[in-house]
Amino acid sequence: MSVNPDLNRRTLLRRAAAAGLLVTPAAGLLSACAGSTPSPSNDNAGEKSNDNPFGVQENSAVKVVIFNGGLGDAWAKEDQAVFSAKHPNVTVNMSSTQKIKTEEQPKMATTPSDLIMNSGADLMDLSTLVNEGAIEPLDDLLAAPAWEGGGTVADTLLPGTVSDGTFQGKFFVVYVAFTVWGNWYNGALFSKEGWEPPKSFEEFFALAPKIKAKGIAPYVYDAVHGYYPRWALMASIWKSAGKQAVVDIDNLKENAWRAEGVLPALEQWEKVVKDKLVLPGRLDHTQSQQAWLDGKAAFIQVGTWLKNEMASTIPPGFEMKLSDYWTVSAADKAPKDVFAGAGEGFVVPSKAPNKAAAKEFLRAVLSKAGSAKFAELTKSLASTKGSGDNVDDPALATANELMKNAGQDLVSVKLWDFYADLDKESQNLSQELMAGRLTAAQFVDKMQAAADKVAKDSSITKQTRNA
């Protein structure tokens, strides 16, 4: 099956790795255990059929590792039930962790787990996994019949899910969550005060003094993990400079960071900091989210996993609502494009003992039944079409509404998936800008220099993003 690596509605990469997680090519994922012999794979051990397209062997076992982060792991247990109903004689050994790289990477060259949800701050570097052949291409999963029938697995997926999991022309990563990012606010507070959620930075700056007059900080963000503020920065760049500018950035085009519209977008965030509109304190993701829930800040930018992650501490009467990232100016090239896409990625190690069952488990995860439970339990959309159709939740409803009014393209960035060193630098610089230690112009200069360094390094495998 031929897979188009750049579908029209591109989607954003998920939560990228935190700074400092790169595995250097010299060390590698596999070389640390070079010479070891993996266990034999029973990938083709069973008889294949439409209902068992990978030939899962009866009485075998499959080891599944779940990232237990903002979305929790209850949804994965529902998928296990879906899988076991069809394969009652296959043992599913499921575990949950937040230490994916720490616990799973050392096993990649010997006998790894069969299916790994590679997500969170401690994830394995994706570019290294692909370049070293450490994970299995999953194009046959896309071509397999959907769990409930009625087409292929690929037919059931939301736009961008396939393209974001495709590298070097092959499909490697199954992203199971469909996240919408933007600015969250308390609808109850805004109704009480008669405030309208701003659609532009100009409107935000006009509203900010009224918010401050109530003893509330206009904005709060995760100041510990650099990929959090970077989402907002790149969303603003996309809206201001347009899709092609970000495509050029991803492709390391000369002077891409100096394209028209990039600097004005970053200058808006520089002004947010200079005008002291950010809640003081170096708060991490849950601390900043709790401060917002406690009424200490009016806006926070994060994805739709927010409600599930903070479910136990949401105050009574708090109305979680999501609005789009603010536009930069009347000259914006893509003001309606929404930051959304598939996230929370599963990979199958190339040396997994039971790749057949791993792929079959993924079919169950992407099933209508499994994805409906995912939406119900996490209050976030799954990457399978129609997952949230029967979920009654105001927070999810505002995300759905945002998607209905979205522009032609979805905001998406590939550079942090393509180049781990550049990923690390972009996170560090995003933190510096939002801490007021870097101007927007300095941010542009430093990012361009970092991109040029990667572009000129012949030892780094270059990736290409099509327009």
pLDDT in tens, the chain (467 residues): 333 222 222 223 333 322 222 233 333 445 433 333 333 444 445 789 999 999 999 999 999 999 998 889 999 999 999 999 999 999 999 999 999 999 999 999 999 999 999 999 899 999 899 999 999 999 999 999 999 998 999 999 987 789 889 988 999 999 999 889 999 999 999 999 999 999 999 999 999 999 999 999 999 999 999 999 999 999 999 999 999 999 999 999 999 999 999 999 999 999 999 999 999 999 999 999 999 999 999 999 999 889 988 999 999 999 999 999 999 999 999 999 999 988 899 999 999 999 999 999 999 999 999 999 999 998 888 999 888 888 788 888 888 788 778 887 899 999 988 999 999 999 999 999 999 999 999 999 999 999 999 999 999 999 888 86
Domain match, 398 and 288 both:
no
| Residue 69: C-alpha distances to residues 107, 119, 153, 254, 409 (Å) | 22, 8, 26, 37, 28
pLDDT given at position 158: 83
pLDDT given at position 46: 78
Is 1 within a domain? no
Domain match, 153 and 225 both:
no
Q: What whole-number distance in Å separates Cα of residue 234 and Cα of residue 242?
A: 11
Is 289 within a domain? yes
Domain match, 62 and 188 both:
no
User: How many Å is the maximal CA-CA distance in the chain?
Assistant: 69
Domain match, 161 and 259 both:
no
List beta partners, residue 175: 345
Domain match, 264 and 250 both:
yes
Q: What is the pTM of this model?
A: 0.71
Quick one: tokens of 253? Answer: 């085009």
Q: What whole-number distance in Å separates Cα of residue 271 and Cα of residue 237?
A: 15
Give the amino acid at 299.
F
Domain match, 244 and 157 both:
no
Q: What whole-number distance in Å separates Cα of residue 317 and Cα of residue 37?
A: 58
Is 134 within a domain? yes
Q: What whole-number distance in Å separates Cα of residue 171 and Cα of residue 129?
A: 13
Q: Are 429 and 443 in contact (CB under 8 A)?
A: yes
CATH number of the domain residue 321 falls in: 3.40.190.10
Q: What whole-number distance in Å separates Cα of residue 5 and Cα of residue 170?
A: 8
Domain match, 223 and 95 both:
no
Query: Which residues, 6+ apart, have CB-to-CB distance to 344 below 8 Å?
Result: 14, 67, 71, 117, 119, 175, 176, 177
Beta strands in 234-393 (DSSP E): 297-303, 320-323, 338-347, 381-382
| Residue 166: C-alpha distances to residues 48, 103, 259 (Å) | 26, 25, 27
For residue 65, report the phi and psi dihedrals to the nearest 5 degrees: -115, 125
Residue 20's region, left for phi above 0, alpha for psi from -120 to 50, else beta, is left
List beta partners, residue 278: 219
Is 44 within a domain? yes
Is 21 within a domain? no
Q: What whole-number distance in Å separates Cα of residue 176 and Cα of residue 455?
A: 32
Provide the sign of the torsion angle of the four alpha carbons 77, 97, 421, 168, taken in this order: negative
Is 125 within a domain? yes
Domain match, 175 and 189 both:
no
CA 351 from chain center: how many Å?
A: 25
Is 429 within a domain? yes
Domain match, 376 and 312 both:
no
Task: Provide the 8-state DSSP code for 402.
Answer: H
Give the amino acid at 190.
F
| Range of the structural domain that residue 244 is part of | 180-339+417-456
Q: What whole-number distance in Å separates Cα of residue 340 and Cα of residue 258?
A: 25
Domain match, 335 and 349 both:
no
Domain match, 353 and 224 both:
no
Give the number of domains in the chain. Answer: 2
Task: Please compute Rg for the chain using Cα positions.
Answer: 22
pLDDT given at position 31: 44
Domain match, 40 and 165 both:
yes
